[in-house]
Chain A
Amino acid sequence: MYNFLKNNWWKLLGVLFILYSIIAGFLIDIPEVQGNIGQSMRNLFFHVVMWFAMMVMFGTSLVRSLRYLSTFDIKQDVYAIQTVNVGLFFGVLGIITGMEWANFTWGTPWTNDPQLNGAAITILAYFAYLVLRRSIDEENKRARIAAVYNIFAFVMLIVFVGILPKLSSGSLHPGAGGSPSTVNSLDFAMRLVFYPAIAGWIIVGYWLTGIRVKMDFIRQHLDNPE
């Protein structure tokens, strides 16, 4: 029991953070906001958190790809692909929760908004990354070329998500200036739920990655046992 806790305390912490954020996310009092956001602001604890977790996963994948290109250790490549898989899982959940919220607040699940388009393009690019990997058979070549695309696409998407919304005049999306409920203006009680929620999902993301990486190694071992 002691050893189990010693090795797995962080998984337990992640699960507790998420449970706490779900329960507290529905129960705490949130400040009144102008406009039709109202109680739907609680989506902050579910939707916004997904994007944070996704970006951390894709960022980790970038680091793994960079490390692959400097060491040519195939293990780094397995980590790179599995973090992308987990990141895409969060991304799809983020799109779904966002569309649900938009349908309620804006009356339509999708609008032509820089933030929404940025999210969609990011997800498309990483699906393209998965397709690219499928189309190369040889293991080391696949790892190298996928790493190059991963780095290239990540930098272009940072440009897209980071610079483009600033150039365009006004976004409907909360957090993009001119609309209420930016992260900077969160009140203290909301922060107390928001930050643990981010930490919890990131921890669970790393846990998922770890499991998928182990599955990958086992599958490779079964395919060609030496």
Chain B
Amino acid sequence: MLLSEIKFLVLKDIKLEFKQRYAINGILLYVVSTIFVSYLSFAKIIDPATWNSLFWIIMLFAAVNAVSKSFVQESTSRQLYYYTLTSPQAIILSKMIYNFVLMGVLSLLCLLVFTALMGEFVVNYPLFISALLLGSFGFASSLTMISAIASRTNNNFALMAILSFPVVMPLLLILMKVSAAALSVGTVAGNMKFLAALFMLNAIVVAMSYILFPYLWRD
């Protein structure tokens, strides 16, 4: 029951996206131009530590921008319509899955463009990509929940940043640690405890959203 609802809602979001073509294109352009700006201003950077922090800062801002419109894109009356049709749990889980797909595409593209412009620093690709995907899911899930909170307030976009930065900071710090390892001599096995911590963090966020979202949804 819940699964089929989620499936329909995710497909609905993807179809909506392909019809409008505005969110995904906008956010891709945002990432590419941010990377280009940093390419121009840094000229040529070149130590792995700078590469790493710049990459994750760009990812953080791209994620906040990409996810922040999850709940404001559709009108209140249409949300009311969904309210009568589905359970709130299906809504939040489907938004998370959709945002995860979006963030996954976004982060791989970001890696591609960033490597092309700023130089190739990643040594251990399996480790880096697994951190990137776990990070995409973490960003997607926690920011979806925060955007649900922010969408209920009067100034959604300013609050999105204020509310989300403290909450995603644990995630971001672990991610930067893993990816720093992937830029030097780290191995997947050696960083297992960080990957496990990322996984745990994601599980906690999903569980909390599952429990708390119904209180946000009823209005």
Contacts and interface: CB of A to CB of B under 8 A. Distances in A.
Interface of A: 69, 117, 121-122, 124-125, 128, 131-132, 135-137, 141, 144-145, 147-149, 151-153, 155-157, 159-160, 163-164, 167-168
B159 to A, nearest CB: 6
B147 to A, nearest CB: 12
Interface string B163-176: 10111011001100
Interface string B205-219: 100100010011001
Contact of A151 (B159, B166, B212): B212
Contacts of B146: 152
B65 to A, nearest CB: 18
Interface of B: 142, 145-146, 149, 152-155, 159, 162-163, 165-167, 169-170, 173-174, 177, 193-194, 197, 201, 204-205, 208, 212, 215-216, 219
Contacts of B197: 163, 167
A153 B166 CA distance: 8
A73 B67 CA distance: 32
A132 B153 CA distance: 8
A152 B208 contact: yes
Contact of A167 (B194, B208, B216): B194
B196 to A, nearest CB: 10
A152 B212 contact: yes
Contacts of B167: 125, 152-153, 156
A128 B216 CA distance: 18
B166 A121 contact: yes
A153 B170 CA distance: 11
Centre residue among A117, A124, A137, A148 by max chain B CB count within 10 A: A148
Centre residue among B170, B194, B208 by max chain A CB count within 10 A: B170
A interface: dominant SS:
helix
B163 A132 contact: yes
A121 B142 CA distance: 16
Contacts of B170: 156, 159-160, 163-164
19 contacts: A69-B215, A128-B166, A132-B159, A135-B159, A137-B154, A141-B219, A145-B149, A145-B153, A147-B215, A148-B215, A151-B212, A152-B145, A153-B166, A156-B142, A156-B204, A159-B204, A160-B169, A167-B193, A167-B197
Given A131-B162, A156-B166, A156-B167, 16 more contacts: A69-B215, A121-B166, A125-B166, A128-B162, A128-B166, A132-B153, A132-B163, A135-B153, A144-B215, A145-B153, A145-B216, A148-B215, A153-B167, A163-B170, A164-B174, A167-B194
Contacts of A135: 153-155, 159
Contacts of B193: 167
A152 B211 CA distance: 10
Nearest to A159: B170
B122 to A, nearest CB: 22
Contact of A145 (B152, B155, B166, B205): B152
A41 B118 CA distance: 47
Contact of B166 (A141, A155, A157, A167): A157
Given A141-B219, A152-B208, A159-B201, A132 B149 contact: yes
Nearest to A169: B177
A164 B204 contact: no
A160 B169 CA distance: 8
Contacts of A136: 152-154
Given A125-B167, A160-B170, A148 B201 contact: no
Contact of A168 (B165, B166, B177, B204): B177
Contacts of A156: 142, 166-167, 170, 204-205
Contacts of A163: 170, 197
